[in-house]
Amino acid sequence: MKITFQFNSKSSGQGVHDAISIAQKCKGNLEGKLYKVQFDTPEDINLNKLIEFVGNLKGSLIFIDNEEGVIASKFLNTFNCKNKLLCNGICDHATVGNYPLENFNIHYEQNIENNILTTENNRIIISLSNFLEEVEPNHFKLNKELLIKNFLESTKFERMFCSKYNEQIIKSEIEKLPDRIYYSPLEDYEIFQRKYREAYEQGGQKLSDTLREILSNCEIDSNLSINDILSCSYAIFLLSYNYGGNMIQNTDVRVYSFPEINKFILMKLKVSEQVVEISEEEKRVDIITKKNDLLYIEDPYFELYFKVFDYNFKVFGYNYFWDISKNPSVFIA
């Protein structure tokens, strides 16, 4: 196996000087402004140093044998995978319908009967649109062969380098997916709203899946400051992969704690009490903006508020947090 790391030696990035020193030590070839350095193994310490110094710069690519180059972060995602210890061979670096493959049937099991998934959520149809064939109005056949091909292609590095990756198990799991999906727009949207309300109250995996479903279909308001945009993106990632947080007693506010990064998030989901029905013309991408200094999404079904805080009570005061827990209106006006 031949691994080639390429970077722009003329870039103004801070780590370029160190990267050039490593490239020269490893007898890399300079072609114009591009340095190309070859390695025999992905564990090579010099390869990892190059990725650390210049892997995030424009023009930095990794080539495996003579295949098309990919960005270094994609390459690193395989070797620094946080799920290796618990991995059962079904890679979660690629998703199916916005869910890890092994979670799809678990999440929709109540809606699957006779190998047909019936759903009122058009976002499932959108997320799987490349693999669906409409056999009649609102009735789709899932092209599992195409889905398998796409999944394997999306995880080709994992297939090549991860010892736990199991192609046969992955194919078997995809074959277990529903053969058909029936999209059934609800006349009574109370069922849809109840789904959000119950997930929020119960927490756990269902709430995590619900938040991932909500947040993966949002866009961040471009009028926000760069700090707010980055904070919003940070919060979306943390909320999408944390199982439910904890309710604050006698409130409807949840707190998510991340001690390893010295952060916590306060979040509230307000579900509409009225039955809401929207037409196809009204359906839109939800925009995350700000309201009363909180990140905020408004939808016909719900309102979602959240904000990231540091574990630094000197900044905003212990009493502020206490007021939030005792009086949620301080958090959400």
| Of residues 296, 280, 279, the one with CA closest to residue 288 | 296
Q: Is the pLDDT confidence value at 47 over 50?
A: yes
pLDDT average, residue stretch 136-164: 90
Q: Which of 63, 67, 1, 52 is nearest to 29 (CA)?
A: 63
- In this prediction, residue 75 carries a pLDDT of 74
pLDDT of residue 273: 62
CB 267 within 8 A of CB 245: yes
- Would you say 266 and 292 are in contact if contact means Cβ atoms under 8 Å apart? no
Q: Looking at residue 313, what is its pLDDT?
A: 47
Give the number of domains in the chain.
Answer: 3
Of the listed ranges 110-119, 159-168, 189-198, 320-329, the least confidently predicted one is 320-329
Domain endpoint, select from 25, 57, 79: 79
The domain of 262 spans 196-331
What pLDDT score does 316 carry?
A: 42
pLDDT of residue 121: 75
Kindly state whether residues 217 and 171 are assigned to the same domain: no
Q: The pTM is what?
A: 0.51
pLDDT digits (tens, 9 = 90+) for 185-240: 654 455 556 666 777 777 777 777 778 777 877 889 988 888 889 889 988 888 87
**pLDDT computed for residue 236 by the predictor:** 87
Rounded to 10 degrees, the C-alpha dihedral 32/37/38/43 comes to -160
For residue 224, the 8-state DSSP code is S
Structure tokens at 27: 């007898």
List of residues 6+ apart from 5 with CB closer than 8 A = 36, 37, 39, 47, 50, 51, 60, 61, 62, 72
Can you tell me the distance from the alpha carbon of 81 to that of 21, in angstroms, rounded to the nearest whole number? Answer: 28
Q: Are residues 41 and 103 in the same domain?
A: no
Residue where one domain finishes, among candidates 61, 79, 97: 79
pLDDT at site 37: 94
Q: Give whichever of 7-21, 65-79, 287-301 has the largest mean pLDDT.
A: 7-21
The model's pLDDT over 251-287, given as tens digits with 9 standing for 90+, comes to: 778 888 888 788 889 888 887 765 555 554 444 557 8
Q: Are residues 70 and 107 in the same domain?
A: no
**Mean pLDDT score of the chain:** 81
C-beta of residue 210 within 8 angstroms of C-beta of residue 196: yes
SS3 251: coil
Cβ-contact 94, 151 below 8 angstroms = yes
243-271 core/surface letters (b: 16 or more CB in 10 A; e: else): ebbeebeebebbbbeeeeeebbbbbbbeb
pLDDT at position 177 is 95
Residues 321 and 239 reside in one and the same domain: yes
